[in-house]
Amino acid sequence: MWTTLMQPIKELTRLLEKLAGQEHYLFSLDDMRSALPEASPGAFKVLISRAERSGLLTRVCRGIYLYPRVSYPSGLVLFHTAAKLRADGFNYLSLETVLSDAGVISQIPTNWITLMSSGRSHIVNCHNFGHVEYIHTKRRPADVADQLSYDQECHLWRASVALALQDMKLTRRSTDLIDWEVANEHL
């Protein structure tokens, strides 16, 4: 069994070394699966497990792995993971994340980011990296396009402070920590 896995692990290593870089250090199981189509589902699962145990890959959350052998922006792993997890849906940073970044909330949520999402509400445990919280919204991109800007660093859309405040009210999140004096400066 080990001899049959030696070649695939070398293949996976070569693939990751070739594709990985500072901007592309996260890989989904689908990314890696398509690169090794000849491996059976069972062999692929064993290969990924072995790659994780050996330190070739670091599991961020279910289905997303980090290739730690390249330099990557450690403070952005949660944001990049959030973008990769729901790349096929409408998502934008909002709520406490945006309000904290703007200084409207005095407490900074550490290792926790909040996004509005066209998908279902869900909290993704990213283990040592923190948590990604998606809150469902029925809004369409056209409804809020004028209040969004693209955050190149995070690879995500970002709500304006006004939109983040609206989202807080719509989702019935606590507004106790909001400094309304600062918030009104952004409105």
**Sheet containing 148-151, strands listed edge to edge, beginning at the edge strand earlier in sequence:** 122-125, 131-136, 112-117, 91-93, 156-159, 148-151
Question: Among 72, 88, 68, which residue's Cα sits nearest to residue 80?
Answer: 72
Q: Which residues contact 123 (CB under 8 A, 6 or more apart)?
A: 131, 132, 133, 134
- pLDDT at site 2: 41
- pLDDT at site 6: 52
CATH entry, 2-66, from 1.10.10, 1.20.950, 1.10.760, 1.10.287: 1.10.10
pLDDT tens digits in sequence order for the chain, 187 residues long: 444 445 788 889 998 999 998 889 999 999 898 878 888 899 999 999 999 999 999 999 999 999 999 999 989 999 999 999 999 999 999 999 999 999 999 777 789 999 999 999 999 999 999 999 999 999 999 999 999 999 999 999 999 999 999 999 999 999 888 888 888 888 7
The amino acid that residue 49 corresponds to is: S
- pLDDT at site 80: 97
Domain locations in the chain?
Answer: 2-66, 75-185
* pTM given for the model: 0.90
Contact 66, 26 (CB under 8 A): yes
- pLDDT at site 145: 97
Measure Cα distances from 180 to 144, 161, 164 in Å. Answer: 22, 12, 13
